[in-house]
Structure 1
Amino acid sequence: MHRLEMGQRKASNTAKLLQHFGAELLCWGVEEHDARLRQILEDDEEGSLVLFPSPDAVQAQSLGTAPRQVVVLDGGWRECVRMNNWISPKIRRCVVTTASRSELGGTRKYSGGTDDRVQTAAAFVTLLRELGEDEREVESVRDGLAHYMECFEAQINRSKT
């Protein structure tokens, strides 16, 4: 997670939901966290993957085998580009192609009214699905995201009245 994202403490941030499913949260720009991520990736370059739509990213559906670990970047677009550039180019990048805001929802508005720009947790749910992970596992994370979105909407609606 980019340090600016951490400092904002927004309720709209879906990345923190992934911690409930075993993710480790590291804050980019914090020296110890940067060192930890470098070590994690160096220990398993072959089995690591960065979920980010960079020009060299391959489609998740074409990977064949699931990675052993996935780095999911979280922050504003510019911050994610910086974090991606900081990570060694030896680590594979991948992109999801079937993500949909109409299915998975979203707490932030994206310009252009596009349906394929989703937030962090929704991109991860889509990655699991495109990698062919067990549907029960995919649905568990998707249901967690759906519950999170329901709570977010209820909170927003309460504050408008």
Structure 2
Amino acid sequence: MVNYPSVIEQLRKKQYTDRDLHVDVLRLDQLHPVVSGNKWFKLKGHLHNAMLTPGTPILTFGGAWSNHLVATAFAAQQLGLAAVGVIRGEQPATLSATLTDAAAYGMSLSYISREAYSRKDQPAFLQQLNDQYPGAYIIPEGGGGEAGIRGSGNSPGHR
């Protein structure tokens, strides 16, 4: 899904070269135009896990301006997976640019109250989601969880 461009930028500044210092910056913002920053690393393990069961929809959480939702929606679309975004708060009259993008990438948006959203990590709430979206692979908010942690510990050269 991601072709790694040259994401290492060498800083060549006089104050560094005068001291014989070599400074490299890892530019995660240049990994991908949609799945940028650390989002790819946090999502890759989850996406791999979801792909192990064909037809598995992905379900994840976020607010009206969640870049995680857009990255997940795009990645799911590229992999041919259905995606559901559980959105914190009531549906606004006008969608944020972020939610507009997530929907454009095929993500179904499901709005829940902030009070209900606060229970998103509780087993009873997760069971309700499982009942509503049978077989869904649930990605914690922001791509957390064990798969997200493992993925974010790797560099671009690791898959």
TM-score by length of 1: 0.29
TM-score by length of 2: 0.29
Larger strand percent? 2
Larger helix percent? 1
